[in-house]
Amino acid sequence: MKVHILHTGRVRIDQALAYKEKSIHPAPYTGWFRGNEKKMWVPVSSYLIEHPTGYILIDTGWHEQIRENQKKHLGRFSNSMYTGDLPNGQSVLEQLRSKGIQSHDISLVLLTHLHSDHVSGLQNFKDAKRILTSDIEWKAANRKMGYIKSMWEGIPIETFIPSAIPHGPFKLGLDLFGDGSIYLVHTPGHSAGMFSVMVKMKEDWLLLASDVGYSKKSWQKMILPGVTVNKSDAEKSLQWVRDFSKRKDCILTAANHDPLIRPQTIF
Ligand SMILES: [Zn+2]
């Protein structure tokens, strides 16, 4: 099995969106009325797994529309909180095409959660064989604020109900192929139904921790993301990532937006 870590552009956010702050500001993560010195650029990651069953894509990064008309793509409200940047050739689709892979060659797209920087590029993969997210996330995303529903309009998304697995803060998730090679681990808190992905690499594990924490510092210092829908769940999920990252058989724990995790291929 091979895992490619891709950076599909970057996003400029308030530091309080990445690292929760105590502030007299009611919502510092919005970045509104906060100075430029509080803003930071972080990468937006996606992952391509070369699995015996086919290509698996985890999250879809920014769509090319971020380059062309991001006010329209994100809407003014979201775009007032964050800005995307997608250099030419850096969308997931463009990067895959440069490897000779087309969207219909993808056997499975996994959406760890449905925030815009994870599903913006989804329309490019509507002809993938399957697209899967958590049922809990799907319901929350279609009901609540903080999501851009046009990003999955007309796309056939399948959902799974997290069930008993031997891993995770709640021991809930999905053994994707029933063989223990990939677990989707229910790690809620930042969003209602976010999952992390455990990938078995020979004898060891690679943990793709999505936005449970924004970087390694998050679980080293137990700093929650700025946005949480359930603080106690977010703490449990972050604690689990922290514990898992210390295991001897964990070769790497990667947060989606960690600038220190460079694009690379892991064997
Ligand atoms: Zn994110």
Give me the CATH topology for the region 2-266.
Answer: Metallo-beta-lactamase; Chain A (3.60.15)
User: Above pLDDT 90, what percent of the chain?
Assistant: 87
Calpha distance 213→193 (Å, rounded)? 15
What digits encode the pLDDT tens for the residues 132-177? 999 999 999 999 888 999 999 999 999 999 999 999 999 999 999 9
Across the range 105-115, mean pLDDT stands at 98
Length of the chain equals 267
Across the range 47-53, mean pLDDT stands at 96
Tell me the Ramachandran region of residue 136: left when phi exceeds 0, alpha when psi lies from -120 to 50, beta otherwise.
Answer: alpha
DSSP line for 37-65: GGEEEEEEEEEEEEETTEEEEE-----TH
What digits encode the pLDDT tens for the residues 243-264? 999 999 999 999 999 999 999 9
Q: How far is the CA of 257 from the centre of ligand 1 (A)?
A: 7
Residue 38: pLDDT above 90? no
Q: How far is the CA of 86 from the centre of ligand 1 (A)?
A: 15
Q: How far is the CA of 44 from the centre of ligand 1 (A)?
A: 7
Given this model, what pLDDT does residue 264 score? 97
**Interior CA angle at 71 toward 262 and 68, to 5°?**
65
Calpha distance 215→99 (Å, rounded)? 28
Q: What is the pTM of this model?
A: 0.96
Tokens of 162: 């997290």
Q: What are phi and psi of 233, to 5 degrees?
A: -65, -40
Q: How far is the CA of 90 from the centre of ligand 1 (A)?
A: 17
> How many helices (H) and strands (E) are present in the chain, helices listed first?
9, 14
Given this model, what pLDDT does residue 76 score? 87
Q: How far is the CA of 163 from the centre of ligand 1 (A)?
A: 24
CB 93 within 8 A of CB 121: yes
CB 153 within 8 A of CB 119: no
Calpha distance 38→220 (Å, rounded)? 21
Across the range 177-205, mean pLDDT stands at 97
Q: How far is the CA of 129 from the centre of ligand 1 (A)?
A: 24
Residue 200: pLDDT above 80? yes
Q: How far is the CA of 186 from the centre of ligand 1 (A)?
A: 16
CB 173 within 8 A of CB 165: yes
Q: How far is the CA of 61 from the centre of ligand 1 (A)?
A: 9
What digits encode the pLDDT tens for the residues 120-131? 999 999 999 999
Q: How far is the CA of 113 from the centre of ligand 1 (A)?
A: 8
Residue 32: pLDDT above 80? no
Given this model, what pLDDT does residue 19 score? 83
Q: Where are the domains of the chain?
A: 2-266
Q: How far is the CA of 71 from the centre of ligand 1 (A)?
A: 18
Mean per-residue pLDDT over the chain, rounded: 95
Residue 194: pLDDT above 90? yes
Tokens of 178: 């029933």
Of 80 and 141, the one with more pLDDT: 141
CB 234 within 8 A of CB 225: yes
User: Above pLDDT 70, what percent of the chain?
Assistant: 100
